[in-house]
């Protein structure tokens, strides 16, 4: 990771339902979570420190409260997780920020209150550390992973997307510092327009715009294989053309690492290495 310029590690979530990444007393007691045999958060923080990388801690996703409208329960549970995590790991040098794991594509239910409350809570407790979200676009490729279909007929329009996220950004701009929209849910000929709108909205609300460049391919019937290199390069260069200078990815370990079970991931890694040499 370090050898190809990766300087940030983002834990997408510290737990989902009853599977968790650190021995959380809160989640074991309140959610009947299964404590891991290895403290993965501690491991990631140590490795991040050794490799001079910034670590962003992803909050807990219940997989049930916020998705069923019980936003207050999701918030209160995560506040306890934030307290526990900061007490346990807050002195780690690599701990540089927070990731709000509840991803959305529109103004659903209490999502603004959730982002605003949890973002502020993270900041107040940690002395203003950076808060990051990574939403997605309700585009042609926003379909279930449990189907061989790769797109759909209906898509949100650019104007609808702008109005929805204009409202969301106004409600969270005091609580969220960075917005890294996922780039895989729209077609390639639509991508620049949506990325431009996203950056414009972030600029208007004094937020930083990154891109979350997906390294898996949404165009294939098999869900999911590592992406074709030309597609990844196209997405990265589109974001750069709009003025975005920072990219993260979902997800290096499966889709781009030479250690991945997918042989194609190692090939993608080598193509990216070649690209970096070409750019120097």
Task: Give 79-89 pLDDT, tens digit per residue.
Answer: 999 999 999 99
Q: Just give the CATH number of 2-199.
A: 3.20.20.80
Q: Which pLDDT tens digit goes with each residue over 94-121? A: 999 999 999 999 999 899 999 999 999 9
The pLDDT value recorded for residue 204 is 98
Give the mean model confidence (pLDDT) for residues 195-214: 98
| DSSP E strands, the chain | 8-10, 15-16, 19-20, 54-58, 60-61, 95-99, 130-133, 178-182, 208-212, 216-217, 225-226, 247-248
Confidence of residue 280 (pLDDT cuts 50, 70, 90): confident
**By the 8 A CB rule, do 172 and 206 touch?**
no
**By the 8 A CB rule, do 259 and 269 touch?**
no
Alpha-carbon Rg for the chain, nearest whole angstrom, is 18
For β-strands 130-133 and 95-99, DSSP reports them as parallel
Domain parsing of the chain, residue ranges: 2-199
Confidence of residue 17 (pLDDT cuts 50, 70, 90): very high
For β-strands 216-217 and 225-226, DSSP reports them as antiparallel
Percent of the chain with pLDDT over 70: 100
The pLDDT value recorded for residue 148 is 77
The pLDDT value recorded for residue 279 is 87
């Amino acid at each position: 990771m370090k050898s190809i310029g990766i300087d940030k590690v983002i834990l997408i979530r510290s737990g989902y339902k009853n599977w968790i990444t650190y021995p959380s007393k809160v989640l074991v007691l309140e959610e009947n979570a299964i404590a891991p045999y290895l403290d993965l958060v501690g491991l990631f923080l140590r490795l991040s420190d050794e490799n001079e990388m910034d670590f962003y801690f992803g909050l807990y996703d219940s997989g049930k409260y916020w998705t069923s409208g019980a936003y207050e329960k999701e918030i209160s549970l995560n506040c306890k997780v934030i307290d526990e995590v900061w007490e346990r790991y807050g002195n780690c040098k690599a701990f540089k920020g927070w990731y709000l794991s509840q991803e959305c594509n529109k103004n659903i239910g209490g999502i603004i209150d959730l982002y605003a409350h949890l973002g502020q809570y993270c900041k107040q407790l940690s002395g203003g550390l950076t808060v990051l979200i990574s939403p997605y676009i309700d585009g042609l490729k926003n379909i279930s992973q449990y189907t061989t279909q790769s797109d759909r007929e209906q898509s949100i329009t650019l104007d609808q997307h702008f109005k929805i996220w204009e409202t969301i950004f106004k409600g969270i701009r005091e609580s969220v510092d960075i917005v890294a929209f996922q780039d895989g849910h729209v077609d390639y000929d639509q991508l620049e327009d949506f990325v431009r709108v996203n950056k414009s909205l972030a600029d208007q609300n004094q937020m930083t715009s990154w891109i979350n460049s997906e390294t898996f391919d949404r165009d294939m019937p098999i869900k999911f294989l590592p992406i074709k290199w030309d597609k990844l390069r196209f997405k990265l260069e589109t974001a750069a053309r709009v003025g975005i200078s920072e990219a993260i990815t979902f997800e290096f370990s499966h889709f781009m690492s030479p250690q991945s079970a997918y042989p194609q991931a190692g090939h993608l890694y080598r193509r990216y290495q070649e690209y970096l040499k070409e750019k120097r």
